[in-house]
Amino acid sequence: MPMDPEIAALLKQFGVDGPGPDTPPSVAEMRAGNRALSLAVAPDPPIEVASVGDDRVAGVPVRVYRPQGGGTAATVVFFHGGGFVVGDLDTHDGVCRRLCRDLGAVVVSVAYRLAPEFPFPAAFDDCVAVTSHVSDSIADYGGGQLAVAGDSAGAGLAAGVALAFRDEGRPLAAQLLAYPCTDLSGDGAHPSRTENATGYLLTTAEVENDTLLYLGDDPAAGGRAPASPLLAGNFAGLAPAVIGCGECDPLRDEGLAYADALSAAGVPVKKHRYPGLIHGFLNFDTKSAAVDAAVTEMYREFGELLNS
The 269-278 sheet, strands edge to edge: 51-57, 60-66, 106-110, 73-79, 143-151, 174-178, 241-248, 269-278
pLDDT at 71: 87
Element at 244 (helix H, strand E): strand 241-248
Rounded CA Rg of the chain: 18
| Residues 206, 204: Cα–Cα separation, whole Å | 5
Half-sphere exposure of 116 (CA within 13 A, CB side): 13
Determine whether 210 is an active site residue.
no
Closest CA to 239 of 130, 151, 164: 164
pLDDT at 18: 79
Domain that holds residue 14: 5-306
Which residues share a beta bridge with 110? 62, 79
pLDDT digits (tens, 9 = 90+) for 193-208: 999 999 999 999 999 9
Which residues share a beta bridge with 143? 73
Determine whether 308 is an active site residue.
no
pLDDT digits (tens, 9 = 90+) for 214-256: 999 999 999 999 999 999 999 999 999 999 999 999 999 999 9
Question: Is the pTM higher than 0.75?
Answer: yes
Report the CATH number at residue 123: 3.40.50.1820
pLDDT < 70 positions in the chain: 1
Of 92, 190, 272, 279, the active-site residue reads 279
pLDDT at 19: 79
Of 38, 109, 132, 152, the active-site residue reads 152
Of 151, 210, 249, 285, the active-site residue reads 249
pLDDT at 112: 98
Determine whether 185 is an active site residue.
no
Angle at 103 between CA 100 and CA 108, to 5 degrees: 40
pLDDT at 24: 82
Angle at 65 between CA 62 and CA 67, to 5 degrees: 160
Number of domains in the chain: 1
Closest CA to 299 of 102, 69, 64: 102
